[in-house]
Amino acid sequence: MSLDVSRIRQDFPILNREVRPGVKVVYLDSTATSQKPLSVIEAMNDFYRRSNANIHRGVHVLAEESTAMYEQAREKIAKFINAPSARQVIYTRNTTESINLVAYTWARANLKRGDLVILTEMEHHSNLVPWHMLAAERGIQLEFIPVTDDGLLDLGTYKSLLARTPKLVSFTHMSNVLGTINPAADIIRRAHDAGAVTVLDAAQSVPHLKVDVQQLDVDFMAFSAHKMLGPTGIGALYGKTALLEAMPPFLGGGDMIKEVKLRSFRPNELPYKFEAGTPAIAEAVGFGAAVDYLNSIGMETIAAHEHEITEYALERLEEIPGLKVFGPTADKKGGVASFTFDGVHPHDVAQILDQDGIAIRAGHHCAQPLHEKFGIPATSRASFYLYSTKDEVDKLIEGIYKVKKVFG
């Protein structure tokens, strides 16, 4: 089914904003964070106006309503990724915290000096730094699947690394710089055959593709609400039940306990064992509303629309002399176009585009090693979502020609 983008855009109030008089926003930065539909904004507003109370503790009406809404959102999220049980969905602050949770609990309980962890050269810092910290603390070994010149993973080298019997393989499903959609099911299958546990950074894939944790057979998967039309400050970690039950708690405090004595405690059952303290309740409600919105449109429909926009954007960008786009062709990537422009720093590109209301991202996008791989300090990045249009792509191209004129 084709997407009625003009109708979709009516659901996003911010897309009608003039960032300066007569200049309407052209939002091409959804990889950093997505915009929010009115249904998400209203769901959170309605929670605070009608049902706000702490959860899991009170027996009064507001507390019971809040608890029900919080847990109903968890059920929606679990169904969205086809988790066997909502108990396997742990609320976190974001993808970063989800990966850190695995590093601080499962990894510290199971990895020892000399154990091998396989990552890739295209990882976001969120899936690099926690493992660097563990390597410094425990002496684990880190190895990396190389990225080819066309922005794909070198699976031949991956095969060689697997022969060294790694304990963990942690990788991104979709690169936030190159847009590359990695063959997650194949990478996970090979890791399991080698006896390794797998972690999938799905921050960029879950918002844009239909992701099924059972089909992937992934052990842990991390993603964030704010990249999938939901609020900031909340994300999720999916994990296989046996792994989660064997892991020690992440943070200590209220709600993550079954019983506390002066000299001991017993942790709570899943998922609460990993959710210490008062959580982001309104944000969970917004997370659930975002899932409802995505389901109402259909992930296949969203993916098809983004592919069409991305293909068009790449064709238009390639017509500009001196501009280089990084990453694979449109059939192997999501809605991301990162590029450099001869003689112009990416921040200058972004600043000039902003004069016409065009919002893109410039920098290393929390992926410095990947930029070093390509011998560049930074890129300009335009990214697309279900509300993006070809007209916005055309405005981007016009803006880049303006950059070319300014810098000669």
Q: Supply angle C-alpha 122, 128, 134, rounded to 5.
A: 155
Among the listed residues 299, 304, 366, 397, the single catalytic one is 366
Give the C-alpha distances (Å, rounded to integers) separating 167 from 38, 104, 198.
44, 15, 9
Q: Name the pairing type of β-strands 116-120 and 26-27.
A: unpaired
Query: Is 337 tagged catalytic?
Result: no
Q: Please name the residue that has the structure tokens 């969205």.
A: 80
How many degrees, rounded to 5, is the angle at CA 12 between CA 9 and CA 13?
A: 120
Q: Rounded CA gap, 19 and 25, in Å?
A: 6
> Please, how many CA atoms are within 13 Å of residue 117, restricted to the half-sphere of its CB?
28
Q: Cβ–Cβ contacts within 10 Å for residue 335, how many? A: 28
Task: Return left, alpha or beta for 125; rule: phi > 0 is left, psi -120 to 50 is alpha, else beta.
Answer: alpha
How many angstroms separate the CA atoms of 375 and 378, rounded?
9
- Count CB atoms within 10 A of the CB of residue 299: 17
Residues tagged active-site: 366
